[in-house]
């Protein structure tokens, strides 16, 4: 180690904010945000299952929270996050197999993820209200 060279001054790669915002960029960060949301949302799942296992009064407690406006907003957001992350995941699996990298394909996949997640969320909620059938 006689001659230790000083690090070469290399150009740094430009960061996100110099680029024009694009849908595919947005979908990328939304995939991560929905993943993080679902992560903390598993607390609701644990609460729900533990309440059901504990007894009728505990189950009624989470039921009244979930059927409140605030609870329904959280559940609606959770449904959308789940559907968006699921479709985004399918998109990633397509990329993992080496497909869908073309400019138009990327755009199409991004739009399909967004439209699909909103569509599936609405379908799930319509199904939900049909199943409940005014019992609440």
Q: What is d(CA 76, CA 59) in angstroms, rounded to the nearest whole number?
A: 20
**The only residue of 22, 25, 26, 49 in contact with other proteins, by rule CB under 8 A:** 49
- Cα 62 to Cα 41, 50, 53, 94, 134: the distances in Å are 14, 10, 12, 38, 19
Quick one: CA dihedral 40, 65, 60, 85, positive or negative?
A: negative
- Cα 55 to Cα 37, 65, 80, 104: the distances in Å are 28, 16, 29, 53
Q: Is 23 among the residues that bind other proteins (CB under 8 A)? A: no
Q: Is 25 among the residues that bind other proteins (CB under 8 A)? A: no
Q: Is 16 among the residues that bind other proteins (CB under 8 A)? A: no
What would the x/- binding string for other proteins be over residues 84 to 123, using CB under 8 A?
Answer: --x--xx-xx--x---------------------------
Residues in contact with other proteins by the rule CB under 8 A: 32, 35-36, 38-39, 42-43, 45-46, 49-50, 52-53, 55-56, 59-60, 82, 86, 89-90, 92-93, 96, 124, 127-128, 131-133, 135-136
């Amino acid at each position: 180690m006689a001659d230790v060279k000083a690090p070469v001054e290399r150009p740094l790669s430009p960061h996100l904010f110099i680029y024009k915002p694009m849908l595919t960029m947005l979908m990328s960060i939304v995939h991560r945000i929905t993943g993080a949301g679902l992560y903390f949302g598993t607390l609701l799942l644990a609460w729900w299952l533990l309440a059901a296992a504990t007894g009728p009064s505990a189950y009624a407690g989470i039921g009244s929270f979930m059927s409140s406006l605030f609870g329904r907003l959280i559940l609606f957001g959770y449904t959308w996050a789940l559907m968006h992350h699921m479709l985004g995941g399918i998109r990633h699996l397509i990329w993992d197999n080496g497909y869908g990298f073309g400019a138009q394909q990327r755009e199409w996949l991004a739009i399909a993820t967004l439209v699909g997640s909103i569509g599936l969320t609405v379908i799930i909620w319509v199904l939900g209200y049909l199943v409940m059938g005014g019992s609440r």
